[in-house]
Amino acid sequence: EIVMTQSPATLSVSPGERATLSCRASQSVSSNLAWYQQKPGQAPRLLIYGASTRATGIPARFSGSGSGTEFTLTISSLQSEDFAVYYCQQYNNWPRLTFGGGTKVEIK
Partner 1 sequence: QVQLQESGPGLVKPSGTLSLTCAVSGGSISSSNWWSWVRQPPGKGLEWIGEIYHSGSTNYNPSLKSRVTISVDKSKNQFSLKLSSVTAADTAVYYCARTEGYCSSTSCWHYFDYWGQGTLVTVSS
Site membership for partner 1, residue 34 (CB under 8 A): yes
Site membership for partner 1, residue 44 (CB under 8 A): yes
- Residue of 22, 61, 76, 101 that binds partner 1 (CB under 8 A): 101
Q: How far is CA 59 from CA 20, 24, 50, 77, 96, in A?
A: 16, 24, 17, 11, 30
Binding mask 46-65 for partner 1 (x = CB under 8 A): x--x-----x----------
Site membership for partner 1, residue 2 (CB under 8 A): no
Instruction: Report which secondary-structure segment, H or E, holds 12.
Output: strand 10-13
Site membership for partner 1, residue 43 (CB under 8 A): yes
Give the Cβ contact number of residue 49 at 10 Å: 18
